[in-house]
Amino acid sequence: MANPSASQINAQIRAAQRRAEQKFKQEVDRVNRANKKAVDDYNRKVTAQNKRVVDDYNRKVGTAQSSVDI
């Protein structure tokens, strides 16, 4: 078996580099998706909590306003 030529070696190196870059991009995308999901979950919980606090406050203000109107 003959030794591979320089162009064959370079082609193999480029192919290996493309595979490595593809794996790296896939991992970055996976991590970004996981982070986005975590942020979205947190924001959803905060929004729900804020809504509960505002609704509770409005209920108290409405009750206080009703007693003043009487």
For every one of its 70 residues, what pLDDT tens digit does the chain have, with 9 covering 90 and above?
578 899 999 999 999 999 999 999 999 999 999 999 999 999 999 999 999 999 999 999 887 666 655 5
Look at residue 41 and tell me if it is in a domain.
Answer: yes
Domain that holds residue 66: 31-70
For the entire predicted model, the pTM comes to 0.66
pLDDT recorded at residue 70: 53
- How far apart CA 30 and CA 43 sit, in angstroms, is 20
DSSP string, 34-69: HHHHHHHHHHHHHHHHHHHHHHHHHHHHHHHHHHHH
pLDDT recorded at residue 62: 82
Look at residue 59 and tell me if it is in a domain.
Answer: yes
Structural domains counted in the chain: 1
